[in-house]
Amino acid sequence: MSIVFDHVRVDFDTPTGPMSVVDDVSFAIEDGEFVSVIGPSGCGKTTMMNIVAGFVRPTSGAVLLDAKPVTAPGPDRGVIFQEYGVFPWLTVRENIAFGLKLAANRVPAAERDEIVRRYMGLMGLADFAVAWPKTLSGGMRQRLALARAYAVKPRFLLMDEPFGALDAQTRSAMQDLLLEVLRAEGKTVMLITHSVEEAVYLSNRIVVMTARPTRIREIVDVPSGSAREELGELRAHVRDVVMKEYAAQVQQATRMSD
Amino acid sequence: MSTLRRALLILAPWGAIVLAWYAIHYSGLVPPALVPTPHAVAKRFWQLAQDRLPKDVLVSTGRVFVGVTLGIALAVPVGFVLGWYRGARAFIDPLLNFFRALPPIALIPLVIVYLGIGEAAKVAILFYASFFSGVVVMYEGIAQMSPIYVRVARTLGASDGEIFRRVIVPLAVPHMLTALRVALGVAWATLVASELIAAQQGLGSLIQNAASFFQLDIIYVGIICIGLIALAMDLALRAIARRLVAWQDRIA
C-alpha cells in the first residue's frame, strides 16, 4: 500500500510550445504515512496530485500504486478538493451514500445505512442528515466531503489544499478532526498545501517542491513526539526553504511578463 | 409580512394600471372611443365568456402546448450536446443565433408554402419559436456546469453511465425547467403571429377578427387573456420548479 513517484515528468502543451511543469520527480509514500507536498503556488503540486488521482497522465515516468501504474481515477483513492464538491442536489445523507450506490462499491441497503450513520456521527453531521448542502457552512461541507470519501473505504486519501478556503478557527478544528479520524481509521495520505504550519502539524514527512518546473527541493522528516523547540526549528527551516522557492517563482513570473 | 399586506402589495400595481387606464379614458387627451373603459372590457369579457372565448382559449392553449412540447423535446438533447461538447459549439453557435434572430412572422409565407394553412403550420411557428429560445438557455446552462462534480463522482468509482444518470441529469434539470419557462413565454408571445395563418379559432384569431371591425374592447379582452394564461402557466411552472429543485440556492 504505497504510492511511488517514479521519474515523473509532465509537459503541458501551450501555444508557445511545451511547458515543463513537473521535472523528474521520484519519491515514495509508504503505507500509513502522512506526507505533505508543499511549494509555491502554481508550481505543479496539484498536477502531481492529479496524476495520483488518475486525472492527468505523466508525459514520462509513472506513479505506481502497489507497483501498478495509475491509469484512471478509482475508489481506492479518495480525493478531497479545496472547493469541496459536495453534490448540491443531494442531502447530507445522500451525499455520503452516493459512492455506496455505485456498481463499483455497492453494499446492501442495511449496511449502507450503517456506514452513513457512522460517518455522520464521526464528522459531527448527525443532526443534518436531511439538510441540503446549501444550508451548511464551509467547514461542514468539507466534513461532508471527507465523510463521503471515507464511506467507500479508500486506501489512499489525496487532499488538494482541503482547508484553504476555511477561516483560521474552522481550519484548525478540521485539522484536529482529520487526525482524529485517521487515528480511528488509518489511511495513506498525500496532502497538497502551501501552509508550513499545516504540513508540520499533520505530516510524518514533508516534500518541499521548487518553483516551476517543479522538482524536489528537500524531503523533511517530522519525527513523531518531537519537543516544542525541535518543531519550532523544523518549521523555521521549512519556511525558509519554501520562501526561497516562492521568490524564485515570483522572479520567473516577472521574467515571463517582461 | 402579513398575508394581507402581501396580497395588497401584489395587487397594488394592477390597481394602478386600471386607474391609469381610467385616467387616460377620461382625461380627454385621447378620443374616448379609442380607449374603451376597463368596465366596458370586463363586460365584453363576460359576454364572450359565454360565447366563443372558452373555445378560443382552449384552442390557443392546445397549440402552445404542442408547439412548446415539441420544441423543448428537441431543444433539451440538442442544447445538451452543444453545451457538453465545446467543439460542436463553435460550429453550431452562429447557426443558432442566425435562426434565433429571425422573426417568426417573417417565416409565415414560407410556412404556408411548405405546410399549408392547417394546424401543422400554426404549430410549426410555435415550435420554431420555442426550440430556438429553449436551446440557447439549455446549452448555456450545461456549458456553465462545474466539472468538479463529475471528477468527484469518478474518484468515488462511478462509471460513465452512472455519471450521466446520477450527476449530469440532476444538474441539468434546473436548466430544463428554465428552458421550458422561457419557451412558454416566447410561444405565447408568438401566438398571434402563428394564428395569422388562416385561423378560425384561438385568441390570436379573436384579436385579428376584432381588428377588422375595429372592436377595440375585444382586442383588449384577447390581449389580457393571453397575458393572464401565460402568467398562470409561469406561476405553475415556478411552483413545480421550487419542489423539484429545492436544493438550488435560488430559483430563477
pLDDT at residue B145 in the model? 87
Alpha carbon dihedral A172, A175, A180, A181, in 10-degree steps, equals 140
H/E run at residue B101:
helix B86-101
Alpha carbon dihedral A117, A120, A121, A123, in 10-degree steps, equals 150
Q: Residue A35 and residue A26: Cα distance in Å, rounded?
A: 14
What confidence tier does A19 reach under pLDDT thresholds 50, 70, 90?
confident
3-state secondary structure of A251: helix
- Cβ proximity of A93 and A116 under 8 Å: yes
Q: Which residues contact A38 (CB under 8 A, 6 or more apart)?
A: A45, A193, A194, A195, A196, A199, A206, A207, A208, A209, A238, A242
Angle, CA of B94, B95 and B98, to the nearest 5°: 85
**Higher pLDDT, residue B7 or A1:** B7
Q: Which set of grid coordinates corresponds to residue B56?
A: 378560443
Tell me the CA distances in angstroms from A26 to A3, A202, A214, B167, B244, one per residue in order.
11, 22, 12, 36, 50
The structure's pTM equals 0.83
> Does the CB of A27 have a partner CB in chain B at under 8 Å?
no
- Cβ proximity of A158 and A49 under 8 Å: yes
Tens digits of per-residue pLDDT, A60-72? 999 999 888 998 9
Tens digits of per-residue pLDDT, B145-191? 888 999 999 999 999 999 999 999 999 999 999 999 999 999 999 98
- Whether the per-residue pLDDT at A105 is higher than 90: the answer is no
- Whether the per-residue pLDDT at A253 is higher than 90: the answer is no
Q: Which set of grid coordinates corresponds to residue B190?
A: 408568438
pLDDT at residue A257 in the model? 58
**Higher pLDDT, residue A75 or A253:** A75
Q: Which set of grid coordinates corresponds to residue B113?
A: 408554402
Angle, CA of A147, B162 and A96, to the nearest 5°: 15
pLDDT at residue B8 in the model? 92
- Cβ proximity of B45 and B194 under 8 Å: no
H/E run at residue B76:
helix B53-84
What confidence tier does B252 reach under pLDDT thresholds 50, 70, 90?
very low
Distance from CA of A73 to the nearest CA of B (A): 5
**Pairwise CB contact (< 8 Å): A75 & B151:** no
| Contacts B160 to A, Cβ<8 Å | none
Q: What is the share, in percent, of chain B residues with pLDDT greater than 70?
A: 98
Residue tagged 390570436 (cell numbers) = B204
Mean pLDDT is lowest, of A44-58, A73-87, B85-99, B175-189, for B85-99
Tens digits of per-residue pLDDT, B136-154? 999 888 988 888 999 999 9
Q: Residue A39 and residue A60: Cα distance in Å, rounded?
A: 22
- Whether the per-residue pLDDT at A256 is higher than 70: the answer is no
What type of residue is A21?
V
Closest CA to A239 of A17, A1, A4, A40: A40
In this prediction, residues A108-133 reach a mean pLDDT of: 91
What's the whole-number average pLDDT of chain B?
A: 90
Tens digits of per-residue pLDDT, A205-237? 999 998 888 888 889 888 877 777 788 888 888
pLDDT at residue B146 in the model? 87
Q: Residue A192 and residue A199: Cα distance in Å, rounded?
A: 9
- Cβ proximity of A84 and A166 under 8 Å: no
| Residue in B closest to A106 by C-alpha | B157
Q: Which set of grid coordinates corresponds to residue B177?
A: 425547467
Q: Which residues contact A243 (CB under 8 A, 6 or more apart)?
A: none
In this prediction, residues B99-127 reach a mean pLDDT of: 90
**How is residue B168 annotated by DSSP?**
I
Instruction: For residue A109, count other CB atoms closer than 10 A to its CB.
Output: 11
pLDDT at residue B1 in the model? 65
Q: What is the share, in percent, of chain A residues with pLDDT greater than 90?
A: 38
Residue in B144, B148, B156, B166 to test binding to A, most A beta-carbons within 10 Å = B156
H/E run at residue B184:
helix B169-194
- Whether the per-residue pLDDT at A180 is higher than 90: the answer is no
Q: Which residues contact B59 (CB under 8 A, 6 or more apart)?
A: B201, B202
Q: Residue B252 and residue B242: Cα distance in Å, rounded?
A: 10
Q: Which set of grid coordinates corresponds to residue B176?
A: 430544463
pLDDT at residue A243 in the model? 85
Instruction: For residue B5, count other CB atoms closer than 10 A to its CB.
Output: 9
**Pairwise CB contact (< 8 Å): B156 & A83:** no
> Does the CB of A51 have a partner CB in chain B at under 8 Å?
no
pLDDT at residue B251 in the model? 47
- Chain B contacts in chain A segment 107-146 (CB below 8 A): 132-134, 145
